[in-house]
Amino acid sequence: MAALCPFHLAFPVDDLAAARNFYGNLLGCSEGRSSSEWIDFNFYGHQIVAHLAPDEAGAVPANAVDGHGVPVRHFGVVLPMHDWQVAADKLSAAGVEFIIKPYIRFKGEPGEQATMFFKDPSGNAVEMKAFADINNLFAR
């Protein structure tokens, strides 16, 4: 797989202190620049920016996928399987309420993957997933 360029994603939050605690302390994302209105985080090598916008945070409609209600609007990261398991264990131990608990999706199919969905304190849906073989990331 070719080297990837970092993506940039800006998203609304209703509380910057809660976002700082969640992304910084719980998920381990280092903090970059910030102001009283936004915070940059290093999300596994990608730049995500929590913008204070209380009226925009929290709406999470879902679509049915593999028997689960997958949040339509979400962002996330594809991790190595070991790192995914470490993250799942850490989030579980911290009492994070999962939208979709950690499990293996599409078992026996080319796109088989470990996945989990949870919300940040502002209601933004986050997915972490992993593939036993990263070459199956775009498998049909």
Average pLDDT of the chain, as a whole number:
92
* Per-residue pLDDT, 80: 94
Distances (CA, A) of 97 to 101, 117, 123: 8, 9, 11
Helical H segments across the chain, by residue range: 16-19, 81-93
CATH class of 8-136: alpha beta
Residue pLDDT, tens place only, 84-131:
999 999 999 999 999 999 999 888 888 889 999 999 999 999 999 999
Domain boundaries, the chain: 8-136
* Tokens 């470990």 found at: 114
**Structure token digits, residue 18:** 């809660």
What CA–CA distance (Å, rounded) separates 20 from 3? 29
Sign of the four-CA dihedral 120, 124, 125, 131 = negative
* Per-residue pLDDT, 2: 63
Residue pLDDT, tens place only, 49-93:
999 999 888 777 778 887 778 778 899 999 999 999 999 999 999
Look at the pTM and tell me if it is higher than 0.85: yes
Residue 1's pLDDT band (boundaries 50, 70, 90)?
low
